[in-house]
Amino acid sequence: MVMLKQLVRTVVLTSCAAVLVACVHRPEDGVLLLKLSRCTITPFHARPGHRLTVTTDYLVRLDHAMPQTEVEESWTLRKGDAILSNIPPQKVKRSQGEWETITHIDVPRRAKPGIYVVEHKIQSGTQVDSAKSAFIVIAR
């Protein structure tokens, strides 16, 4: 029983130390956190040639000495492993806070019915985050 308590205490202390190190860490580029919070595509069902609205929400946390940072936002349309298109990345200056970017993607005119995926990606300095959202192409 004493060994188990000591093991649990060691794990808890080790975990707390890891969290403390993560909180104190200051990357050289001043970006403390870059995190996607919501990625959506509307409408969920679309026909070939239709325009989709792609929304990407994310959080930026900066070192106090850094008023803003450049964030590169990009999107990739995929069907399975195949890349169908890359939306040209846009670079924007962002201050600390929550941000929303809206872009549009046209469903390829020759798209076959099925599930398609958009990869949302944000990058600033050494911080990168990505997520995927899906939509369904239905027959004409």
In contact, 95 and 61? CB cutoff 8 Å: no
The residue to which tokens 């040639």 are assigned: 49
CB contact at 8 A, 74 and 87: yes
Mean pLDDT across the chain? 83
Task: Say yes or no to pLDDT of 51 above 90.
Answer: yes
H or E segment and range at residue 35:
strand 31-42
Q: What is the pLDDT of residues 93-125, one digit of tens each?
A: 999 999 999 999 999 999 999 999 999 999 998
Is residue 29 very low, low, confident or very high in pLDDT (cuts 50, 70, 90)?
low
Does domain 29-137 match CATH 2.60.40.3880? Answer: yes
Which pair of structure tokens corresponds to residue 103? 């872009």
Taking residues 4-17, what's their average pLDDT?
36
Read off the pLDDT of residues 66-81 as tens digits, 9 standing for 90 and up: 899 999 999 999 999 9
Q: What confidence category does residue 15 fall into, taking pLDDT thresholds of 50, 70 and 90?
A: very low
Q: Where are the domains of the chain?
A: 29-137
Q: Which residues contact 86 (CB under 8 A, 6 or more apart)?
A: 74, 75, 76, 77
Rg of the chain (C-alpha set): 20
Contact 108, 82 (CB under 8 A): no
Are residues 111 and 137 in contact, defined by beta-carbon separation less than 8 angstroms? yes
Q: What is the pTM of this model?
A: 0.76
Beta bridge partners of 57: 38, 100
Query: 3-class SS at 82?
Result: strand
